[in-house]
């Protein structure tokens, strides 16, 4: 029985690794294509602080709207 559990655990680890790699690649692509930060949030229209725009390249949402999206 432990062999089945070890095998299943290994498969789960592989799927987790693949999902993480896919997410990192998607994030990297999004950051490269959206290098321009918006001055106002695309969701609520509030101004995005300059510090956030400089720190997070390509940001399009204020912190509140970004948190809600995540």
Q: Give the pLDDT of residue 33.
A: 59
> How far from 61 is each of 25, 32, 70, CA to CA, in Å?
21, 17, 11
Provide the whole-model pTM.
0.49
C-beta of residue 61 within 8 angstroms of C-beta of residue 42: yes
Q: Give the pLDDT of residue 26.
A: 81
Rounded average pLDDT per 10-residue block, the chain, 70 residues? 84 95 83 75 93 87 92
């Amino acid at each position: 029985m432990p062999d089945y559990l070890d095998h299943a655990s290994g498969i789960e680890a592989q799927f987790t690794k693949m999902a993480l790699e896919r997410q990192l690649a998607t994030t990297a692509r999004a950051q490269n294509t959206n290098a321009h930060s918006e001055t106002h949030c695309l969701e609520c229209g509030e101004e995005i602080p300059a510090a956030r725009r400089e720190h997070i390249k390509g940001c399009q949402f204020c912190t509140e709207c970004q948190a809600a999206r995540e």
